[in-house]
Chain A
Amino acid sequence: MSALSITNVTKSFGDNHILKGISLEAEAGEFIALVGPSGCGKSTLLRIVAGLEGADSGEIVAGGRDLTRLVAAERNVAMVFQSYALYPHLTASQNIAVPLAMRNLTSMQRLPMIGSLLPGQKAIRKDIMRQVTDMARSLKIDHLLDRKPGQMSGGQRQRVALARAMVRQPGLFLMDEPLSNLDANLRVHARGEIVDLHRRAGVPTLYVTHDQAEALSMADRVAVMMSGSLLQLAAPEVIYDDPAHIEVAKFVGQPRINTIASRVDADGAVTLGTWRLQPHDTLAPGSDITVAIRSEFLSIADMGTPGLPAHIERLEFLGSEVIVYTKLDAIGESMVVKLAPSDARGLVAGKPVTIVPQGERLMVFGADGARLRADLTFTTLLERAHG
């Protein structure tokens, strides 16, 4: 049985269909990243799982418990917000203690003056404080416990927010872009920390982000969402190397994947610039397709080598690699090539060159954006069409 299963969840505001039937399963202890451009519905899905918003239809089951009709407080989920949402009037230790106090103390016992007179509350408070201190120590924020959020840095607040979420051993961990408000250096560092914390806690986690690099680097599986639909849910390597949809291919990877719009010829072959590619499987003649290839599977050779003739437009030196922006001579499409600096020696803007793709890395997508598996049968680039 999966730790979390989301079945056919839909949500719309008026005519605006935010979620068009999302289904998703998470295994025990799995880290799933929900990634997509802003407005794709990933945050709404997370809020529905949290119980902060109601779904129009669909079902959410976690740990064998149907959560669909429970309010947020009863779902035993924890959430970290992009803004951290710490209570500004409470100190760090009071913030971390809130989820425990809300659950372990009655509303009478929580009253400021009268509460302290009630029997039993002292022992509970002491136990809460012990848990808070333990949690703080494990996140290395025990020196911040007396500070209010206003007196902390972004990174410190983020840790307090994590501590508040983790302190009561939730059944499900939800994170809504928790790293977006951190500066770039801290963000990369915090990625590792969150993955580490997740591994220690072993709680299934849904992690919303718009940053594909974050999703690929942190998650066990990545769910790519696009305008209310789940396009692909798979391991990061599969998402990158074997995307099921053109939008997934475009969204993931830096620089963006190269795409060339084309049409299947009458004989079932595909014309790509001055080249014709012969797939072994048949593609419907006359159908529109998109051919895509990642920049690192292209190489640049001297003019005259068999390949796609192009001109270099500009070069970007990034230290460990060089990004070469080119334009194909035949069809005017842009092609981005990622090279090792040693391979880029002697390249200058304006130089005519030949681009050589690795044939087995070409991918074909249909007019609806879905992947056509025909690409696996591309053998090599075949003969030149016209001299």
Chain B
Amino acid sequence: MADMTAISLPVEKSRPIVNVSERHEARVAWMLAAPAMILIVLFIVAPVVAVITLGFTDFELGYSTFKFVGFENYAELFGDRTFRQSLWNTAIYTAIVAPASILLGLGVALLIESETVGRSFFRTAYFLPVASLLVAMATVWQYLLHPTIGPVNNLLNLIGLPGPNWLGSASTVLYSLSMIGVWQTVGFNMILFLAGLTAIPRDLYSAAEIDGAKSPIDRFFLVTLPMLGPTTVFVTTISIINAVKVFETVKTLTEGGPNKASEVLLFTIYQEGFVYLRVGYASAMTVVFLAVLVVMMFAQYRLVDRKVHY
């Protein structure tokens, strides 16, 4: 009995001390986390809340008052032909640019990885469009794709093909923009895939060879593709988000035309918010835009992410 009291006594005595130190630790933790938390609230949470709130108002820039209009903006949105057109155009653009830039990025990365001599040259060359200013490069594209003096059409004429009016005709403009989009994104995806490729243990390829994977194609499907799973999920997410966010080329090259054939989400939002100054309506569009992105990201992580991490 004497032993037991001797043992339990210090424990009881130390309990308040533990509490004090725990509380102290908690306070320090909050203090350390505070700067990041304040910044997140200030720069991420607050703007999103502001946009959502504004989406329920009829606020227009320049007017000092505004009133809440409930879901009126959203009701208008779904009857708005321009918005539906731009939603559709964005979907088409994304459906072309995201898969094309992912596949080409992977292909280029594989080619560069197996190249020994000009590796860094090709890497830089393909990355150049990512690093260059798109607005500046748009003028180059405008010249290249010009229906009469553009080199692309001149080349086509040379072999007897009629060159289309790439950016000027409603039937081709979206595909021309998609092409520029792919050109711009391939380099970025390539860099990500290259990083993924270098992380694959060489031993796996040796094992695959020994196990009878004779051709490079066999080894690609046995080792490379599965091992690139996490990279591919990331690249896909980024590519889709970037494609949905297309704006610069549309603004500089086509202004959404001709006849709204290249009207995309971000451009429509820009028009409503900054040209017509209908901030409330533009905010409602932004909310839809954000919702689309969030849903896609969640869907992707839910469906795919669990399968590619081993």
Residues of A participating in the B interface, judged by any CB pair closer than 8 Å: 47, 50-52, 71-74, 77-79, 81-83, 85-90, 98-99, 102-103, 107, 148-150, 164
Question: How long is the Cα–Cα vector from A236 to B308 in the complex, in angstroms?
Answer: 47
Which residue in A51, A83, A87 is a CB contact (below 8 Å) of B223? A87
Are B206's CB and A79's CB within 8 A? yes
Are B213's CB and A73's CB within 8 A? yes
Which residue in A79, A89, A107, A150 is a CB contact (below 8 Å) of B227? A89
Residues of B participating in the A interface, judged by any CB pair closer than 8 Å: 201, 203-204, 206-215, 217-218, 222-223, 226-227, 229, 308, 310
Interface centre among B212, B229, B310 (most CB of A within 10 A): B212
For B210, the chain A residues whose CB sits under 8 A away are 50-52, 72-73, 77-79, 99
From residue B286, how far is it (CB to closest CB) to chain A in Å?
39
Are A98's CB and B211's CB within 8 A? yes
For A150, the chain B residues whose CB sits under 8 A away are 310
Given A52-B206, A83-B201, A107-B218, the answer on whether A102 and B212 have CB atoms closer than 8 Å is yes
| Shortest Cβ distance from A151 into B: residue | B310
Are B209's CB and A52's CB within 8 A? yes
| Shortest Cβ distance from B307 into A: residue | A89
Which residue in A71, A73, A88 is a CB contact (below 8 Å) of B310? A88
Are A89's CB and B229's CB within 8 A? yes
Question: How long is the Cα–Cα vector from A77 to B211 in the complex, in angstroms?
Answer: 9
Given A73-B209, A148-B310, A150-B310, the answer on whether A87 and B214 have CB atoms closer than 8 Å is no
Question: How long is the Cα–Cα vector from A50 to B212 in the complex, in angstroms?
Answer: 12
Given A50-B210, A79-B207, A102-B211, the answer on whether A85 and B201 have CB atoms closer than 8 Å is yes
Question: How long is the Cα–Cα vector from A89 to B214 in the complex, in angstroms?
Answer: 20
Question: How long is the Cα–Cα vector from A219 to B201 in the complex, in angstroms?
Answer: 29
Which residue in A72, A74, A89 is a CB contact (below 8 Å) of B226? A89
From residue A10, how far is it (CB to closest CB) to chain B in Å?
21
Question: How long is the Cα–Cα vector from A88 to B215 in the complex, in angstroms?
Answer: 21
For A83, the chain B residues whose CB sits under 8 A away are 201, 203
Question: How long is the Cα–Cα vector from A282 to B227 in the complex, in angstroms?
Answer: 66
What are 13 contact pairs spanning A and B, CB under 8 A? A47-B206, A50-B206, A71-B214, A72-B210, A73-B210, A73-B211, A74-B214, A79-B206, A83-B203, A86-B207, A88-B226, A102-B213, A164-B211
From residue A50, how far is it (CB to closest CB) to chain B in Å?
6
For B227, the chain A residues whose CB sits under 8 A away are 88-89
For B218, the chain A residues whose CB sits under 8 A away are 102, 107
| Shortest Cβ distance from B203 into A: residue | A85
For B209, the chain A residues whose CB sits under 8 A away are 51-52, 71-73
Q: A71-B209, A85-B207 are in contact. List 15 more A-B contacts (CB 8 A).
A: A50-B206, A51-B210, A73-B213, A74-B214, A77-B210, A79-B207, A81-B203, A87-B207, A87-B222, A87-B223, A88-B226, A88-B227, A99-B211, A102-B211, A150-B310
Question: How long is the Cα–Cα vector from A102 to B217 in the complex, in angstroms?
Answer: 12
Which residue in A47, A99, A149 is a CB contact (below 8 Å) of B212? A99
From residue B290, how far is it (CB to closest CB) to chain A in Å?
34
For B211, the chain A residues whose CB sits under 8 A away are 73, 98-99, 102, 164
Which residue in A47, A77, A78, A85 is a CB contact (below 8 Å) of B204? A85
Are B222's CB and A98's CB within 8 A? yes
Question: How long is the Cα–Cα vector from A150 to B218 in the complex, in angstroms?
Answer: 23
Are A149's CB and B213's CB within 8 A? no
From residue A261, how far is it (CB to closest CB) to chain B in Å?
42
Question: How long is the Cα–Cα vector from A102 to B221 in the complex, in angstroms?
Answer: 12
For B215, the chain A residues whose CB sits under 8 A away are 107
Are B204's CB and A87's CB within 8 A? yes
For B213, the chain A residues whose CB sits under 8 A away are 73, 102
From residue B93, how far is it (CB to closest CB) to chain A in Å?
30
From residue A161, how far is it (CB to closest CB) to chain B in Å?
9
Are B310's CB and A89's CB within 8 A? yes
| Shortest Cβ distance from A81 into B: residue | B203
For A88, the chain B residues whose CB sits under 8 A away are 226-227, 310
Are A73's CB and B203's CB within 8 A? no
For B203, the chain A residues whose CB sits under 8 A away are 81-83, 85
| Shortest Cβ distance from B217 into A: residue | A107
From residue A17, how far is it (CB to closest CB) to chain B in Å?
22
Question: How long is the Cα–Cα vector from A93 to B304 in the complex, in angstroms?
Answer: 23
Question: How long is the Cα–Cα vector from A173 to B82 in the complex, in angstroms?
Answer: 69
Question: How long is the Cα–Cα vector from A99 to B229 in the complex, in angstroms?
Answer: 22
For A149, the chain B residues whose CB sits under 8 A away are 310
| Shortest Cβ distance from A50 into B: residue | B210
Are B207's CB and A81's CB within 8 A? yes
From residue B58, how far is it (CB to closest CB) to chain A in Å?
53
Interface centre among B204, B210, B226 (most CB of A within 10 A): B210
Given A87-B226, A88-B227, A89-B310, the answer on whether A73 and B212 have CB atoms closer than 8 Å is yes
Given A73-B212, A102-B213, the answer on whether A85 and B206 have CB atoms closer than 8 Å is yes
Question: How long is the Cα–Cα vector from A8 to B96 in the complex, in angstroms?
Answer: 57
Question: How long is the Cα–Cα vector from A78 to B207 in the complex, in angstroms?
Answer: 9
For A50, the chain B residues whose CB sits under 8 A away are 206, 210
From residue B202, how far is it (CB to closest CB) to chain A in Å?
9
From residue B196, how far is it (CB to closest CB) to chain A in Å?
14
Given A85-B201, A88-B310, A89-B310, the answer on whether A73 and B206 have CB atoms closer than 8 Å is no
Which residue in B206, B212, B223 is a CB contact (below 8 Å) of A103? B212
Question: How long is the Cα–Cα vector from A85 to B203 in the complex, in angstroms?
Answer: 6
Question: How long is the Cα–Cα vector from A87 to B217 in the complex, in angstroms?
Answer: 16
| Shortest Cβ distance from B308 into A: residue | A89
| Shortest Cβ distance from A79 into B: residue | B210
From residue B193, how far is it (CB to closest CB) to chain A in Å?
17
For A77, the chain B residues whose CB sits under 8 A away are 210
